[in-house]
C-alpha cells in the first residue's frame, strides 16, 4: 500500500513537470523536454540531411540534397550564432520547421519536409529546439542558394505552398486505435515517409492520390509502402515491417541505399512500440493492385531467366527464391523486385549493394555487382523471371530498361 502511494506521487510529479515544460519556451535545462526533442529529432532523422556523410560535424549542415531541380544544400542547425540557428527565436524555428518560412520571411524549398513536419505540434517542435540547443555550436557557413535561375528565386515558393502545402497539426482519427493514430502521426509527421515514398508532380509536390505508392530518390526507385499486394507491403505482416524498421532486416528483405541510412539514423533508434505503430498504420493503407498476368514459363525470357537465375543467383537466393531469412532476401516475396518501375532492382544487379548493419543485425551482408557478368538482355531476362516465377507477377523488364539504367548509373558516384 505504501509503495503504491509513493509511486502515485512520482507520477503526479512527472505530470506536473510535463505541464510546466509544455508552457515554457525551449530550454536546454529541462531534461524531459530535451529528451522528447531528441527522440523526435531522431524520428524526424534531422541528422541525415543536416550532416555531411562520412565525417561531417553532426547537424552542421552542408550536405547537398539531391532534387530533380538541382542540389539544395542543407542548413547548419547547431546553436552557432553566426552560421547556425543560435540567434533564432523559438517562434522563428517553428516557422521554419512547420511552415517553411525563414526568419527573413523567405521560403524554404520542400527538400526540407516542412509539409510533413507541420503535423508536429508547437510543443513537439519547441522540444526539438530544446534538444538542438544542447548540441555543440559548430561554425560552418553554408552557401544555401545553389539552385539555378529561375529556381533560385525563393519567392516562387509562395505559389508552390499555395498548391501543395496544407499547414496544420496532426488530428487523430477518433474511429481508429491509439496505436494507428500514433503510427499515422509518425509516418505523416516527423517520419516524413512521403518525402521519399510518395510520387511527385512536375513541380515537386506530392501526388496525394498516390500516397506512399513509391517514388524516386538518388537514382533509386523507392518502393510502394502501402498494403498493395504486389509492389507494396501486402505480403508483409505488421511484425515484418516493425522488424525491418528496427533492425534493417526481416525474413523478406534488407535495407540498402538511402533506406539503410534511415534505419541507421532513425528507425533503429525508435521504440518497439513506435515502429509497430508505424507498421500498423502502413498496413491500413490500401494500395493499387492493377497488375498483369504472369508470363508463361515457356516464354523465352522466362526460360533464359531461369537458367541465369540458377547459375548466378540461386547460391544465395536459393532455387525456390526464398533465400535465407535476414541474410539473403527472399525474391519470392520481395516487393521492391516487383515495383512497376524496375530501376531499383536493375540497380541492385548492376551495382550490387550493401545492407545496413544494426546492433540487432550486425552482419550487413552484401550482394556483388553483376554488371560485367551479365549483359543487358541477360539482366532483363533474369529480372523478368524473378518478377514472375513465384506469384504476384510484375511486368517484364526489357533490355532497354537495363541499358538506360546502366547509362544513368554511370554518371552516379554514390
Q: Name residue, grid cell 509562395.
A: 158
Instruction: Report the run of H or E that residue 113 belongs to, with start and end.
Output: none
CB nearer to other proteins: give 133 or 317. Answer: 317
CB nearer to other proteins: give 286 or 366. Answer: 366
C-beta of residue 401 within 8 angstroms of C-beta of residue 394: no
The nearest distance, CB 246 to other proteins, in angstroms, is: 13
Number of residues that bind other proteins (CB under 8 A): 25
The nearest distance, CB 137 to other proteins, in angstroms, is: 24
Burial class of residue 93, CB neighbours in 10 A (0-12, 13-18, 19+):
buried
The nearest distance, CB 330 to other proteins, in angstroms, is: 12
CB nearer to other proteins: give 39 or 328. Answer: 328
The nearest distance, CB 375 to other proteins, in angstroms, is: 14
Distances 313 to 238, 331, 334 between C-alpha atoms, Å: 29, 10, 15
Q: Which of 3, 296, 372, 407 binds other proteins (CB under 8 A)?
A: 372
Q: Which stretch binds other proteins (CB under 8 A): 83-91, 178-186, 293-301, 368-376?
A: 368-376
CB nearer to other proteins: give 314 or 398. Answer: 314
Site for other proteins in 307-366 (CB under 8 A): 312, 315-316, 324-328, 352, 354, 357, 359-366
CB nearer to other proteins: give 289 or 369. Answer: 369
The verdict on 414 binding other proteins (CB under 8 A) reads: no
The nearest distance, CB 366 to other proteins, in angstroms, is: 3
Q: Which of 184, 193, 245, 367 binds other proteins (CB under 8 A)?
A: 367
Strands (E), 1-98: 64-67, 70-73
Q: Name residue, grid cell 508552390.
A: 160
Quick check: bond before 150 cis, omega within 30?
yes
Window 145-164: contact mask with other proteins (x via CB under 8 A): --------------------
C-alpha Rg value of the chain to the nearest Å = 23
d(CA 38, CA 383): 42
Burial class of residue 112, CB neighbours in 10 A (0-12, 13-18, 19+):
buried
Q: Which of 373, 391, 400, 414 binds other proteins (CB under 8 A)?
A: 373
DSSP string, 174-232: TTS-HHHHHHHHHHHTTT-THHHHS-B-TTS-B-GGGTTS-EEETTEEEPP-SS-SSSS
The nearest distance, CB 326 to other proteins, in angstroms, is: 6
d(CA 199, CA 206): 6
Positive or negative: CA dihedral 235, 238, 242, 243? negative
d(CA 236, CA 123): 34
CB nearer to other proteins: give 157 or 353. Answer: 353
The nearest distance, CB 140 to other proteins, in angstroms, is: 24
CB nearer to other proteins: give 152 or 371. Answer: 371
Angle at the Cα of 60 from the Cα atoms of 59 and 66, rounded to 5 degrees:
85
Site for other proteins in 78-107 (CB under 8 A): none
Binding residues for other proteins, rule: CB under 8 A, are 312, 315-316, 324-328, 352, 354, 357, 359-370, 372-373
Amino acid at each position: 500500500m505504501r509503495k503504491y502511494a509513493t509511486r502515485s506521487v512520482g507520477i503526479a510529479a512527472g505530470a506536473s513537470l510535463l505541464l510546466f515544460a509544455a508552457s515554457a519556451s525551449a530550454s536546454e535545462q529541462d531534461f524531459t523536454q530535451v529528451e522528447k526533442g531528441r527522440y523526435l529529432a531522431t524520428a524526424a532523422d534531422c541528422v541525415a540531411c543536416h550532416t555531411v556523410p562520412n565525417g561531417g560535424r553532426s547537424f552542421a549542415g552542408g550536405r547537398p540534397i539531391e532534387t530533380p531541380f538541382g542540389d539544395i544544400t542543407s542548413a547548419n542547425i547547431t546553436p552557432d550564432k553566426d552560421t547556425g540557428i543560435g540567434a533564432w527565436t523559438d517562434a522563428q524555428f517553428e516557422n521554419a520547421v512547420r511552415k517553411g518560412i525563414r526568419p527573413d520571411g523567405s521560403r524554404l524549398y520542400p527538400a526540407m519536409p516542412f509539409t510533413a513536419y507541420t503535423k508536429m505540434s508547437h510543443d513537439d517542435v519547441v522540444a526539438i529546439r530544446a534538444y538542438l540547443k544542447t548540441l555543440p555550436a559548430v561554425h560552418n557557413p553554408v552557401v544555401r542558394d545553389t539552385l539555378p535561375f529561375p529556381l533560385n528565386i525563393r519567392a516562387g515558393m509562395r505559389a508552390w505552398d499555395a498548391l501543395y502545402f496544407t499547414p496544420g497539426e496532426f488530428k487523430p482519427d477518433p474511429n481508429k486505435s491509439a496505436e494507428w493514430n500514433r503510427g499515422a502521426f509518425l509516418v505523416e509527421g516527423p517520419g516524413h515517409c512521403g518525402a521519399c515514398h510518395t510520387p511527385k508532380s512536375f513541380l515537386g509536390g506530392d501526388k496525394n492520390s498516390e500516397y506512399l505508392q513509391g517514388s524516386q530518390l538518388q537514382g533509386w526507385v523507392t518502393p510502394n509502402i502501402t498494403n498493395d499486394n504486389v509492389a507494396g507491403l501486402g505480403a508483409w505482416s505488421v511484425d515484418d515491417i516493425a522488424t525491418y524498421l528496427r533492425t534493417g532486416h526481416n525474413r523478406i528483405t534488407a535495407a540498402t541505399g538511402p533506406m539503410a541510412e534511415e534505419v541507421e539514423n532513425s528507425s533503429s533508434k525508435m521504440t518497439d512500440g513506435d515502429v509497430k505503430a508505424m507498421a500498423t498504420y502502413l498496413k491500413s493503407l490500401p494500395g493499387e493492385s492493377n497488375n498483369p498476368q504472369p508470363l508463361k514459363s515457356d516464354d523465352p525470357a522466362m526460360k533464359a531467366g531461369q537458367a541465369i537465375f540458377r547459375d548466378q543467383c540461386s547460391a544465395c537466393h536459393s532455387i525456390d527464391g526464398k533465400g535465407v531469412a535476414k541474410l539473403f532476401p527472399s525474391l519470392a516475396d520481395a516487393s521492391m523486385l516487383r515495383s512497376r518501375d524496375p530501376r531499383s532492382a536493375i540497380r541492385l544487379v548492376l551495382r550490387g549493394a550493401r545492407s545496413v548493419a544494426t546492433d540487432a543485425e550486425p552482419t550487413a551482408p552484401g550482394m556483388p555487382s553483376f554488371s560485367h557478368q551479365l549483359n543487358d538482355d541477360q539482366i532483363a531476362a533474369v529480372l523478368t523471371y524473378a518478377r514472375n516465377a513465384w506469384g504476384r507477377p510484375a511486368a517484364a523488364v526489357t533490355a532497354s530498361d537495363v541499358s538506360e539504367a546502366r547509362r544513368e548509373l554511370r554518371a552516379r558516384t554514390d
